[in-house]
């Protein structure tokens, strides 16, 4: 009898694994992705994976426009409040978060909605990331010494070795220059040759429907203005002040839109109204970059205004 029960449980697990539905909802900041994802998750019994480079941090709640516990309406979210502001992360973090969300959703017999404005992470899940070698401390020390001497010379060295690859990296991009120096000194192989020998492996291998929310530029600008005012009313200035006291200004997240303008306000560079306008302008510029990225990187997607997409998904 126990053997039959075990067999039934295995077969049930296989069925759940086959039947789980996954979709992605993308769009520029302030386009309405989060609210739609929560509403749709309730309709199809789904969990949500957030792909957001700011909402992943604990204590960054207002600036990230992270949905509150009440806003989540009982829907389980992955990718929120994962690390503290002074902890590092990269795209591989989101690969692990996806695997966790998929595994838990499968066990629970729930569908999965992937949603967020940082579409680069979705692209990586779909098209893959080349496995990187383990970097020894000796290599790290060598790279650090070179970068400390001159980032310009470091870039020039890499450019002379691999012009095709380095022409796509800015000469001031310290993070990527350091990464490529580590790769070269650890393996003795140029980046182009290394990535040719180690092609990217996608994490999501099954078809994934992608839905993009499109918003008229003027309407989006007004939504950004309303959201900025809401963040200020909720205590944006106090939140940034608290973050600065606890973590300083060094962490990458302290350079995010909403935080950097508030820090400039603290420094007397902007008055409060000027700070507000700067946040609106910089958020609108971010939205433009997000639209361009989504347009160029995801060819097979359904792009609709919010009301039409809501009607399509919730009918």
Residue 1 forms part of a structural domain: no
Whether residues 147 and 113 share a domain: the answer is: no
Across the chain, what does the average pLDDT equal?
A: 92
Whether residues 150 and 124 share a domain: the answer is: no
Q: How many domains does the chain have?
A: 2
Residue 9 forms part of a structural domain: no
Residue 14 forms part of a structural domain: no
Q: What is the pLDDT of residue 19?
A: 67
Whether residues 145 and 190 share a domain: the answer is: yes
At 280-302, the pLDDT tens digits run 999 999 999 999 999 999 989 99
Residue 26 forms part of a structural domain: yes
Tell me which of 145, 162, 197 is where a domain ends.
197
Domain residues for the domain of 24 are: 19-128+203-314
Whether residues 25 and 162 share a domain: the answer is: no
Tokens of residue 290, six digits: 């997000």
Q: What is the pLDDT of residue 184?
A: 96
What is the share, in percent, of the chain residues with pLDDT greater than 70?
A: 94
Give the CATH number of the domain where residue 55 resides: 3.40.50.300
Among 11-20, 27-36, 78-87, 201-210, the range scoring the smallest mean pLDDT is: 11-20
Whether residues 97 and 227 share a domain: the answer is: yes
Whether residues 308 and 173 share a domain: the answer is: no
Residue 189 forms part of a structural domain: yes
Arithmetic mean of pLDDT, 64-77: 94
Whether residues 188 and 74 share a domain: the answer is: no
Q: What is the pLDDT of residue 20?
A: 85
Residue 107 forms part of a structural domain: yes
Whether residues 75 and 208 share a domain: the answer is: yes
Q: What is the pLDDT of residue 174?
A: 86
Give the CATH number of the domain where residue 160 resides: 1.10.20
Tell me which of 182, 197, 212 is where a domain ends.
197
Q: What is the pTM of this model?
A: 0.81
Whether residues 40 and 94 share a domain: the answer is: yes
């Amino acid at each position: 009898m126990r053997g039959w029960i075990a067999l039934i449980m295995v077969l049930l697990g296989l069925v759940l694994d086959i039947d789980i539905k996954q979709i992605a909802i993308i769009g520029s900041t302030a386009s309405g992705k989060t609210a739609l994802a929560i509403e749709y998750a309730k309709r199809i019994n789904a969990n949500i994976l957030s792909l957001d480079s700011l909402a992943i941090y604990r204590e960054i709640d207002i600036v990230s426009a992270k949905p509150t516990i009440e806003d989540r309406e009982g829907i389980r979210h992955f990718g929120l409040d994962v690390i503290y502001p002074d902890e590092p992360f990269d795209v591989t973090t989101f690969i692990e978060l996806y695997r966790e969300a998929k595994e838990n959703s499968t066990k629970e017999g729930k569908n999965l909605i992937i949603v967020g404005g940082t579409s680069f992470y979705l692209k990586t899940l779909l098209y893959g990331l080349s496995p990187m070698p383990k970097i020894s401390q000796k290599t790290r020390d060598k790279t650090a010494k070179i970068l400390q001497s001159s980032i310009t010379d470091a870039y020039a060295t890499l450019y002379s070795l691999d012009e095709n690859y380095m022409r796509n990296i800015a000469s001031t991009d310290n993070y990527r220059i350091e990464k490529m120096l580590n790769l070269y000194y650890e393996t003795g192989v140029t980046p182009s040759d290394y990535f040719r020998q180690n092609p990217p492996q996608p994490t999501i291998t099954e078809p994934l429907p992608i839905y993009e929310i499109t918003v008229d530029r003027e309407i989006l600008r007004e939504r950004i203005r309303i959201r900025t005012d809401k963040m200020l009313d909720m205590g944006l200035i106090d939140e940034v002040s608290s973050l600065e006291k606890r973590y300083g200004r060094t962490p990458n997240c302290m350079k995010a839109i909403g935080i950097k303008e508030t820090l400039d306000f603290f420094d007397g560079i902007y008055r409060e109204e000027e700070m507000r306008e700067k946040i609106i302008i910089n958020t609108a510029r971010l939205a433009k970059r997000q639209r361009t990225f989504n347009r160029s990187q995801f060819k097979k997607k359904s792009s609709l205004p919010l009301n039409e997409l809501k009607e399509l998904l919730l009918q």
